[in-house]
């Protein structure tokens, strides 16, 4: 069987779980990453710009790809500055865009031309996804429900349209609150899952990271296997209604 991987920015990844690093203590980051089997972790650039003993980069295992975000940027100019700063800090060329819709296209194009691997976070709209792809995005990151809400796949039908119609990897981001919801998104054909709050607010962070890992792998396996059909009406017995015993 061929290795099941996906590619972003010319890099190949076998893990389809992108882990957030916000909302929980830095001491737990390493354990969460290891239990999740994550190969990509997001971070706010501001968390790398503190005194050395509190630098988040000291807590992320070696070999994990960093995905800085532009959280806090008020416009495209500030977001570009944050992206360039993250590169100078040694965070690499990956960047997650988190600003208002009107600036996303311009920002994606600017950063893509500068060699960044741009992953824009967006409301799941097919036309927006196409425009971002044309602007140079490396993947599409539609939200499942309001960020930090843990409400699950509230936008499921819209995400499915993007998955079906987009040539780029679709990474479901924001609002995934349970491992079962991550599994369902992977069964739909998502390339990966991004989760933070569901893990950060769990009773046992490392254990929940491991649960998400297992769920994402199960969902991917189910998608590759091909889900069974669903009857819109009626029912159908599992055994044929023939060959009964007779007196």
Q: Is the pLDDT of residue 242 over 90?
A: no
Helix or strand (DSSP H, E) at 55: none
- Distance in angstroms (rounded) separating the CA atoms of residues 118 and 88: 16
Mean pLDDT of 210-232: 90
Q: How confident is the model at residue 88 (pLDDT cuts 50, 70, 90)?
A: confident
Q: What is the pLDDT of residues 187-199, one digit of tens each?
A: 999 999 998 889 8
Active-site hit among 30, 96, 101, 178: 96
Q: What is the mean pLDDT of the chain?
A: 84
Q: Is the pLDDT of residue 84 over 70?
A: yes
Q: What is the pLDDT of residues 129-180, one digit of tens each?
A: 998 899 899 999 999 988 888 888 999 999 999 999 999 999 998 889 999 9
Query: Contact, 182 vs 219, CB < 8 A?
Result: yes
Q: What is the pLDDT of residues 91-137, one digit of tens each?
A: 889 999 876 555 667 788 889 999 999 998 888 889 889 988 998 99
Which are the contacts of 18, defined by CB distance < 8 A and separation ≥ 6?
38, 40, 41, 42, 67, 171, 173, 192, 193, 194, 195
Query: Contact, 48 vs 39, CB < 8 A?
Result: no
96 is catalytic: yes
Q: Give the pLDDT confidence score for residue 234 in this predicted structure.
A: 72
Predicted TM-score (pTM) of the model is 0.85
Burial track 151-184 (b if 16+ CB lie within 10 A, e otherwise): ebbebbebbbbbbeebebbbbbbbbbbbbebbbb
Q: How confident is the model at residue 183 (pLDDT cuts 50, 70, 90)?
A: very high
Supply φ then ψ for residue 239, to 5 degrees.
-105, 145
Q: Give the pLDDT confidence score for residue 27 in this predicted structure.
A: 66
Rg of the chain in Å (alpha carbons): 20
Q: What is the pLDDT of residues 50-77, one digit of tens each?
A: 555 567 777 787 888 899 888 777 777 8
Q: Give the pLDDT confidence score for residue 142 in this predicted structure.
A: 92
The two tokens of residue 127 are: 């036309």
Helix or strand (DSSP H, E) at 107: helix 101-113
Q: Give the pLDDT confidence score for residue 244 in this predicted structure.
A: 60
């Amino acid at each position: 069987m061929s290795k099941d991987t996906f590619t972003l920015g010319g890099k190949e990844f076998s893990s389809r779980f992108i882990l957030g690093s916000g909302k929980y203590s830095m001491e737990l980051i390493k354990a969460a990453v290891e239990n999740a089997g994550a190969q990509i972790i997001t971070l706010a650039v501001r968390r790398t710009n503190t005194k050395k003993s509190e630098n988040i980069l000291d807590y992320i295992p070696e070999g994990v790809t960093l995905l800085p975000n532009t959280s806090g940027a008020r416009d495209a100019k500030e977001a570009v500055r944050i992206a360039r700063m993250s590169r100078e800090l040694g965070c690499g060329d990956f960047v997650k865009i988190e600003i208002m819709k009107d600036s996303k296209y311009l920002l994606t194009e600017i950063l893509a031309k500068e060699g960044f691997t741009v992953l824009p976070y967006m409301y799941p709209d097919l036309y927006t996804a196409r425009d971002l792809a044309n602007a140079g995005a490396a993947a599409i990151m539609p939200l499942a429900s309001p960020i930090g809400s843990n409400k699950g796949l509230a936008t499921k039908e819209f995400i499915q349209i993007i998955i079906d119609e987009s040539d780029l990897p679709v990474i479901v981001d924001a609002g995934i609150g349970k491992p079962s919801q991550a599994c369902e998104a992977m069964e739909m054909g998502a390339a990966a899952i991004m989760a933070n709050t569901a893990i950060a607010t769990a009773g046992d962070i490392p254990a929940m990271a491991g649960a998400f890992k297992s769920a994402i792998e199960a969902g991917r396996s189910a998608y590759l296997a091909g889900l069974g059909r669903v009857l819109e009406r009626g029912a159908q017995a599992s055994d044929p209604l023939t060959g009964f015993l007779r007196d």
